[in-house]
Structure 1
Amino acid sequence: MPKIVDHDARRAELVEASWQVIATQGLEGVTMRRVADAAGCTTGRITHYFADREALVLAALRAVNDAAGDRTAQIIKSDLSARDKLMKCLEEGLPLDATRLLEFKVWIAFWSAAASTRQLARENDARHTAWISAMKPLINAVAPNADAEHHAHTLMGLLDGLGLTAAINPTQRNRQNAKRAVHRYVDNMMRADA
């Protein structure tokens, strides 16, 4: 009887192995050999699922964005209050634990590459646009008179900057400062709207 292979699971394993390489070596360090070593497989397995290095790198970016997006979507669907939903969604964009730290390090590598790679820049813009669209209804729910678009853009910049600091030097202090600053921004936004 032939062995049944879960191709989606195999692709996901390879993508996750690429995250490890990206987080430690940067995008310039991503080679098929390094990803194969991280995944504990041959380069042949990688080329079976990805046409080339660029296809693997793009899949890695999309997967890290999807992982964060899926968690955010679950929060939005939850029974939490509007304020708690917004706060938890914002926290998903900060490197507050090992999973989000790994994701943030992947984002840092992609931001660097996106500065000179048009396709990656478009991917980054699409991620930002989707995130802002998801946050605007939450902002409207907690501050109905506020300019939700403006606050969503400001919060995105705040998350990116604070997250960068906390990812580069992932101390408990930096993580707590990032979380506290985001919470303070939202509380001030809500007070100004009252």
Structure 2
Amino acid sequence: MPKRIDHDLRRRQIAEALWRLVAANGMEAVSLRQVAAGAGVSMGMVQHYFTDKEEMVLFALSSLTEQVGRRVGEALADQDDPLQRVRAVLVQTLPLDDERRLEARVAVTFLARAPVDEKIAAHLRSGYAEGHAYLVEQLRAAGVPDAEQEAFRLVALTDGLTAHTLAGHHAPAEALAVLDEHLARL
């Protein structure tokens, strides 16, 4: 009987290898060959799933977005309070553990690439708009004045905390404390 191959799993393994490569060496280190080596597969296998580097990079970005989205969904499942829902979303983007630190390093790299790559920029704009709209909805439900501007502030605060935590300026627990202090003021 022929061996069944889980193509989604293979594509995911390749995407995760790309994440590790980006997190360790930046976007300029990404090549089909380097990702194949990182995934422990042949170059031919990578080319079977992705026609070029751009397609592979965009798939890796989409996979990262989906992974964070799944975790956010799980975190929201137990939350009824709108401000706790806001917190649950934002906490999932802070680099508080190894998994989120890897995701944050990759996300920051994609964000830095967006000004020169319209496809990455478009993907990030779409995700940002969706996330911002959700935050605004929850902030309004919590009765927060000027929910639209507060959502902008919260995303900027979280992005800044992420960047500075990744740079080692403060510990993850300190970043979480700053976010919690801000949310408590609302």
Find the counterpart in structure 2 of residue 175 from structure 1.
Answer: 172
Q: Secondary structure at the match of 1:94?
A: coil
Q: Structure 1, residues 48-67: CA drift from partner, whole Å, max 9, x if none?
A: 11111111111111111111
Find the counterpart in structure 2 of residue 90 from structure 1.
Answer: 90
CA apart distance, 1:79: 4.2
**Amino acid across the alignment from 2:147:** A
**Amino acid across the alignment from 2:140:** N
Find the counterpart in structure 1 of residue 61 from structure 2.
Answer: 61
CA apart distance, 1:80: 4.7
TM-score, scaled relative to structure 2? 0.93
**Amino acid across the alignment from 1:174:** A
Find the counterpart in structure 2 of residue 138 from structure 1.
Answer: 138
Task: Calculate the aligned-residue CA RMSD, in Å.
Answer: 1.5
Shift of the 21–82 alpha-carbon distance from structure 1 to 2, 3 Å rule, reads same
**Amino acid across the alignment from 2:174:** N
Find the counterpart in structure 2 of residue 162 from structure 1.
Answer: 161
Q: Structure 1, residues 156-193: CA drift from partner, whole Å, max 9, x if none?
A: 11111110111122x8x42122111111111112xxxx
| 2:146 is the counterpart of 1:147 | yes
Q: Map 1:32-111; keep pairs closer than 5 Å.
A: 32-111=32-111
Shift of the 79–127 alpha-carbon distance from structure 1 to 2, 3 Å rule, reads closer
**Amino acid across the alignment from 2:25:** Q
TM-score, scaled relative to structure 1? 0.90
CA apart distance, 1:74: 2.4
Q: Is the 8 A contact 2:76 2:88 kept in 1?
A: no
Find the counterpart in structure 1 of residue 183 from structure 2.
Answer: 186
In structure 1, C-alpha distance between the alignment counterparts of 2:25 and 2:144, rounded to whole Å: 45
**Amino acid across the alignment from 2:128:** H
In structure 2, C-alpha distance between the alignment counterparts of 1:136 and 1:78, rounded to whole Å: 20
Q: Secondary structure at the match of 2:95?
A: coil
Unpaired runs of at least 5, structure 1:
190-194
Find the counterpart in structure 1 of residue 7 from structure 2.
Answer: 7
Q: Structure 1, residues 15-69: CA drift from partner, whole Å, max 9, x if none?
A: 1111001111111110111111111111111111111111111111111111111
Q: Structure 1, residues 95-135: CA drift from partner, whole Å, max 9, x if none?
A: 00111100111111111111211121111111111111222
In structure 1, C-alpha distance between the alignment counterparts of 2:144 and 2:35, rounded to whole Å: 49
Q: Is the 8 A contact 2:20 2:102 kept in 1?
A: yes
Find the counterpart in structure 1 of residue 28 from structure 2.
Answer: 28
In structure 1, C-alpha distance between the alignment counterparts of 2:64 and 2:41, rounded to whole Å: 21
